[in-house]
Structure 1
Amino acid sequence: MYQTDARHGLTTLTDQDEIAACLPDVTQLYLDASADLTAFAGLLPPSAFFDLYRGDLRSPGARLVKAERGGHVVGFGFGTLLPADTTWWRSLVSSAMPDSFTHEDGRRTFVIRAVVVRPACQGLGYGTALHDALLRGTGTERSTLMVSPRIRPALALCEALGYLFVGAARPEGTDATYLSMVRSEGSTAFHRRPRRR
């Protein structure tokens, strides 16, 4: 556990037991966010997210960044390294990517599973700070995430952070369609702009 951003009260955890111990705070914040219909439009159903969290917290490279304000957790970011046998890229439904793009070795890609900020604290830089702290020191070639096309502020943030659209994706455990996005050093060869509606 170490502090990564005093201004936003960020703490980064990489120890599996410490990440597991944060489940009550993460659970409450996720439930609060999912109760807000605007926020929930882009989130996995709570039960699916909690299953994902419990499974991924034991994965190599798992990390949780939490933001605290006034003694309360107001945001968190969670992610892990994509393993060599990942099914992440199989969720793409609109694009067929070459093997050179989808190949994983357990160190190439960091996947951001969630960045959630309490609605009252949105617009104050927490989302960007959580994102940056999650990736700091991972040493990966690229990062990836999925975002709902229905949440315009989240999509705008991803684009501002340099993420490029890869294709539409349907993750396991949901019927919803998300935008799969990647941020890497250099090449923009796989950049396709999402359709605006």
Structure 2
Amino acid sequence: MSKLPIVTIPDKGLRDKTRPVTKFDADLQQLIDNMIETLSEANGVGLAAPQIGRPLKLAVIWTLPEEDDAGNELPDTRDLYVVINPEIFWASRETDKGIEGCLSIPGYLGEVERSVSIRVRGLDRHGRKFRRRFDDWDARIFQHEIDHLNGVLYIDKLTTPENIWTEEEFEAMRQEREKAKGQQAEHEPMVGD
């Protein structure tokens, strides 16, 4: 296996439509393994083939880990999906706003509204059909990666054009909110006061 270079904006290949995968040969398996290694090295949750300069309907996705009651990640609770020729065939009307980043847009985060639940069909790495429902953050990750396969980036779906920040700006905003919450809590009356 080997790590692949990740394409970043303004590379025009990120906007191209992809073509379906039709051959499930050794070359495809090697590409998938290299994408998984690249994703792990980049500490990301999803990587689509256009992000490594390949115009194929192929993505590798890690689901988020489960957490215990104290908010600690439980080991071995993440699932790795290799999705080929995926299609979202149902999306909930219920949506949620969330903060997204992208390995192809390093250093930035933006607010995007997406469906809370989706159903996806496609093929696995061996060409076997799969259908699966994804909810919450896992649904968001799948929508983000499938968008890549259609030449769409999260910056195209920002809730407003102003809702994009550098990672530093976002961290400063988050700290300000935490500080404001802490000050508000100090002034709230205690039960029994």
Q: Same fold (TM over 0.5)?
A: no
TM, length-normalised to structure 1: 0.29
